[in-house]
Structure 1
């Protein structure tokens, strides 16, 4: 049995301490029900909130080290910059991928050495490059001639990674190549321009696209990266020694293991044993560590019936946590619960109405729309999906809500994203 503590950033009563279970928050409906019912009993509220499972983050780091021990993760802060998540990753030995001075500042404030930060934004304002130099962040990506002059002027002593466009972005949900990455015919001129500017190229970076399920994309990208190493050698540049394989990794075990196996095999295929001895391999995972660690709990705050159609309003939406979340993914992650009563153990009898978008007990379903709370008619979470009959004050619980959710929220119409209020941590005592 594993002992867990549920802690509130707002100091909930100690009755929430010492929850004992064999399950993680992210994969057991009963545990989700129990935790949420306890929270709702002790602190009834219509406000949406997150539960962050820090024990799961630690387990994911173990998974990473077991499958990719030769690759140092630089967590992509933009994915989810919650301080407790970042602090846990610091404790687990992660380095960090930052894309702005604000992100760099937040990581340095946690006591991370600048040597463990990569400034992985290929196009930066001159003032931002100057800031990186001032705080000692010395590893920077670039993919254009225009960036070279800014770096030469404001941070000439840094090491550069030339960002190349991944040859294959098929199978990813978030392609990046239209904005980032040098094309094959641009690589040699970029390397020569860097030489002329007196700057030092340390290696190559690429990104196969966000949430990638095409594991062979890593193979083709690594082959392209090796070609850059060879081109640098032809130009008599100092040997490149850093290989940044980017992100795109998902935490689903079989998918991650397949991607990791492809990376390991491809590095061994394209880089000789002698080359690998001096090669530093890093990656920029974001979703891998953040997505499954966060569970979002929302309330149904309004309902309208129009014939056979059902329309519901919830207290989180497009302008909060759901701007970049695929509706299909939302539906598949959703659990619907009846409002928790205030009986002795906080558990409503037969509270589960829907699991993973499917009604329980053979209940009738209706074509349904979920609206967010703002006054924008485009603020829709789901539309035309089959849901069971739901009521005001029912809870809709969305799992796997840590990646590009609250980080992308706005305050449109005076609404903000749900707060990360409750922290679930493993108790080793």
Structure 2
């Protein structure tokens, strides 16, 4: 972490005074709008939460270098905070690559993680010095051979489960070993340099079974690759680590099983470097949304009263992830006491679309127009998938860091600030993550 990097971060993050916290900032903004008719929804992002997630990661998975998946939250304060912490970055397009580079990150800290890339994006990555990239099909290999033949390639392990059983991934994970070997053979025939393997859970997982099985399968492919005289140097275990507060299973519980599987199949000294692509893990719990009730309706059925509340945010804005992942759990919190009588309630968004329903059949105390609902765990996708549907603007976000968290960041060990190259991979990671150093 350089002095320039920390100064860059402070240009986009408000450093709080004394013992002020992000919760204090949220409360202050709510109080400031009590007398206003215009009570826009807003977000508060606690960069200290990301700091502590980073420290937890290194404690639980010390050999695995995190490469943050930019798609989950691409705002400059998030990028700069993670850059200061020593994270690498997983980018899926030329725009994401440029964004990360523009925020002070060197190309060797970027992996181009999209397995199916536009030809122009491959050319752009090569020109920017991003040479490590993922593939999962022959067409991609032919494209890379034509455009960037000196790239360092990572095979994303093909599986049948992603397509046949997407809702039961952990129970049905099955690697297509024949296809994996065919792709490695094709790459060799094209004169391309395959340096490693990757896998990725297509959704955030509360279970370790997927990771354990994938690691076992990856080890078998490493051994099979030797028969083709291909020496693999890198394993990317992808994302899928949840980032909620109060999850059913903690990150540490999942990480322990992952660590055990890695230590068994890829022990220290095996010359296999380990990275991951956490995204939701880093940002989900860092951001809180406050949305205001702009209208209210009530109805009575069989003597039971229920309410509908309409907010100045919705699924075309901060909750847009619900458009393609209805399994997302959204829990609204009111500012009233816990002892209040609750009623069956439905929370709607602000547009004129009948699909703009945020939460159905939740329990809330009776609220009034002008009151607030608070939504925690809003850091993933809430800012990257917003639209301006019906002419509405996305909520503004204030990025903050508590003074004590800033002091913790400044005191990070030198091994987390010093970057070393990973042999034959084109990547650099903090010294603390280099298992073979």
TM-score class, shorter? 0.7 to 0.9
Q: Distance in 2 between matches of 1:24 and 1:168?
A: 41
The match for 2:250 is 255
The match for 2:19 is 20
Structure 1 residues 9 and 129, CA gap change in structure 2 (3 angstroms): closer
Q: Distance in 2 between matches of 1:122 and 1:181?
A: 19
Q: Distance in 2 between matches of 1:313 and 1:80?
A: 26
Instruction: Return the match for 2:306 from 282, 304, 309.
Output: 309
On the 8 A contact 2:26/2:44 being kept in 1, the answer is: no
The match for 1:335 is 333
Instruction: Return the match for 2:234 from 227, 242, 254.
Output: 242
Instruction: Summarize deviations over 1:72-131 as a string: whole Å, max 9, x none.
Output: 100000011111111100000010000001100000001111111000000011111111
Q: Distance in 2 between matches of 1:181 and 1:315?
A: 44
Q: Distance in 1 between matches of 2:77 and 2:346?
A: 34
Instruction: Summarize deviations over 1:143-178 as a string: whole Å, max 9, x none.
Output: 000101110111111100000146877xx998889x
Q: Which runs of 5+ in 1 are unaligned?
A: 1-6, 26-30, 338-351, 354-359
TM normalised by structure 1 equals 0.82
Instruction: Return the match for 2:123 from 130, 135, 153.
Output: 130
Q: Distance in 1 between matches of 2:267 and 2:329?
A: 41
Matches within 5 A, 1:239-388: 239-251=231-243, 255-275=250-270, 278-307=271-300, 308-325=305-322, 329-331=329-331, 334-337=332-335, 352-353=336-337, 360-363=338-341, 365-388=342-365
Structure 1 residues 203 and 10, CA gap change in structure 2 (3 angstroms): closer
What's the secondary structure of 1:297's corresponding residue?
strand
In angstroms, what is the RMSD of aligned CA positions?
3.0
Matches within 5 A, 1:398-409: 398-409=375-386
On the 8 A contact 1:143/1:181 being kept in 2, the answer is: no
The match for 2:214 is 221
Which one is further off, 58-67 or 136-145?
A: 58-67
Matches within 5 A, 1:81-230: 81-165=74-158, 183-230=176-223
Q: Which runs of 5+ in 2 are unaligned?
A: 1-9, 408-437
Instruction: Summarize deviations over 1:234-254 as a string: whole Å, max 9, x none.
Output: 1112x1010000011124586
Report how many residues are paired.
384
